[in-house]
Amino acid sequence: MYSRIATYVAQFVPRSLAPRIAGIEIASTFVRAVTIPSDDGSCEFLTVTLGDSARTGGAPNTRALTDALRTVRLKLGSLHAVVSVAERKTFLYETVARDVHHIREAIESTLEARVPLRAEDVVCDGEIVRTVPEGVVVAVTALPRADVLAIHTASRDAGLMIRAIETESHAFARAVLHSTEPESVLLVDLGAHATRIAITDHGVVAYAASVDFGVKLFTSAIMKRLSISEGEAEAIRMQRGFLLGDGNRDVVEALAGPVSALRDEFERHRSFWNHAPDLEVSRLPISRVILGGAGAATHGIAEYLSDALGLPVIQADIWAHALRGGALPKMTASEALDYGTAVGLARRYRPTDPW
């Protein structure tokens, strides 16, 4: 309710008086934050490392998270925030409601079969995707109530006011997509140790998954093949990667195994999207792939995957829809690709954005 009221009031508040809203990605080992506060495109960014000792069961404990969020508030000067929930903790699916007045009924009737948690243990949201002869297609997001409450408590104790909590994929989509054209797009956030895969339906995230595959596998393969240090292998991955030619054959061959595994993951999720057994309505086939995360900076990976998948694969541009003429932030291209989720979160309540 607060989120709706704040969004309504915000349209009457001069930009100079609007609160600084931070987009904060919460992961198991770090908190990554961005603010995009002004019309000239200026922004601030920050990553706070939590460390292995701060984790309990793969998630940051409340005290460590509170300390990290307090650091964000003090260093970025933000009192309001939009934060993300880890992809592994969320459930997304599509269902069909008879009309807009029966969306709640459609969600409640399908929740038990689609989400392996008790109804009282989840927080649900539904987003209208499109209208079909059978009714209204709704993308349903279910979040564990305990995780939502933990994030809310840690944010409150850190002095932050939460404007919204959403999945990483929803935020990443907001950062890299600019329209709601009738198409399905495969979004890939290739991180250091894990990869998030999401599929949008008419601009709305309708499917998401997380796989234990990270760009560190590329680096390790190069290290082993060339007997070099991690730093040297990282530099080769980004500067040479899939560059074709006799002088780079060893590197391409070293990367062949990991990238084939990555391609197979994409194919598996694409097949499920097109042929899900419980599909209620027809879906458009995936038309293109947008590749983000640190792995997207691997030289030539977009072109390599495009040939392997038979689809256009483009590197994400996370600043394309966030900046309004200002200078690019002082960070490397690889660092920028890692901030896609945080940028998408920060964009959620910008008054002139279509989202």
Cβ count near 265 (within 10 Å) = 17
Q: Which of 24-28, 36-40, 112-116, 228-232 has the highest mean pLDDT?
A: 228-232
State yes or no: pLDDT of 194 exceeds 70. Answer: yes
Looking at the domain assignment, is residue 276 inside a domain?
yes
Dig out the tokens for 230 from the structure.
């991690």
Report the alpha-carbon distance of residue 312 to residue 285 in Å, rounded. 13
At residue 226, the pLDDT reads 95
pLDDT in tens, 105-129: 999 999 999 999 999 999 999 999 9
Looking at the domain assignment, is residue 62 inside a domain?
no
At residue 68, the pLDDT reads 94
Report the alpha-carbon distance of residue 237 to residue 252 in Å, rounded. 10
State yes or no: pLDDT of 132 exceeds 70. Answer: yes
Q: Which of 13-22, 56-65, 252-261 has the highest mean pLDDT?
A: 252-261
At residue 327, the pLDDT reads 61
User: Are the beta carbons of 60 and 28 closer than 8 angstroms?
Assistant: yes
Dig out the tokens for 42 from the structure.
């200026």
Q: CATH number of the domain that 311 lies in?
A: 3.30.420.40
The residue-averaged pLDDT of 200-229 equals 93
Looking at the domain assignment, is residue 195 inside a domain?
yes
Question: Confidence class of residue 336 from pLDDT cuts 50, 70 and 90?
Answer: confident
The residue-averaged pLDDT of 138-161 equals 93
Instruction: Report DSSP state, residue 70.
Output: H
Report the alpha-carbon distance of residue 352 to residue 355 in Å, rounded. 9
- Residues of the chain with pLDDT > 90: what percent? 59
State yes or no: pLDDT of 54 exceeds 60. Answer: no
The residue-averaged pLDDT of 188-202 equals 92
Looking at the domain assignment, is residue 138 inside a domain?
no
The residue-averaged pLDDT of 325-329 equals 63
Cα 73 to Cα 21, 67, 76, 82, distances in angstroms: 10, 10, 6, 12
Instruction: Count structural domains, the chain.
Output: 1
State yes or no: pLDDT of 219 exceeds 80. Answer: yes
Give the E-state strand segments of the chain in sequence order: 21-26, 30-35, 44-49, 55-56, 59-60, 80-85, 91-97, 122-132, 135-144, 161-167, 184-190, 195-201, 204-211, 286-292, 313-315
Looking at the domain assignment, is residue 172 inside a domain?
no
The residue-averaged pLDDT of 219-223 equals 96
State yes or no: pLDDT of 2 exceeds 50. Answer: no
Looking at the domain assignment, is residue 304 inside a domain?
yes
pLDDT in tens, 56-101: 445 567 888 999 999 999 998 878 999 998 888 889 999 999 999 9
pLDDT in tens, 20-29: 789 999 988 8
Looking at the domain assignment, is residue 101 inside a domain?
no
Strand pairing category for 135-144 and 91-97: antiparallel
**pTM for the predicted model, two decimal places:** 0.86
Report the alpha-carbon distance of residue 355 to residue 203 in Å, rounded. 10
The residue-averaged pLDDT of 198-225 equals 93
Report the alpha-carbon distance of residue 206 to residue 273 in Å, rounded. 10
Question: Confidence class of residue 1 from pLDDT cuts 50, 70 and 90?
Answer: very low
Range of the domain at 217: 181-319
Report the alpha-carbon distance of residue 123 to residue 105 in Å, rounded. 15
Strand partners of residue 23: 34, 82
DSSP string, 185-229: EEEEEE-SS-EEEEEEETTEEEEEEEES--THHHHHHHHHHHT--
Report the alpha-carbon distance of residue 26 to residue 122 in Å, rounded. 19
Flag the least confident range among 78-92, 167-181, 316-330: 316-330
Looking at the domain assignment, is residue 336 inside a domain?
no
Determine phi and psi for 292, rounding to 5 degrees: -130, -170
Report the alpha-carbon distance of residue 137 to residue 200 in Å, rounded. 13
At residue 354, the pLDDT reads 43
Determine phi and psi for 197, rounding to 5 degrees: -120, 130
State yes or no: pLDDT of 246 exceeds 90. Answer: no
State yes or no: pLDDT of 192 exceeds 80. Answer: yes
At residue 3, the pLDDT reads 47
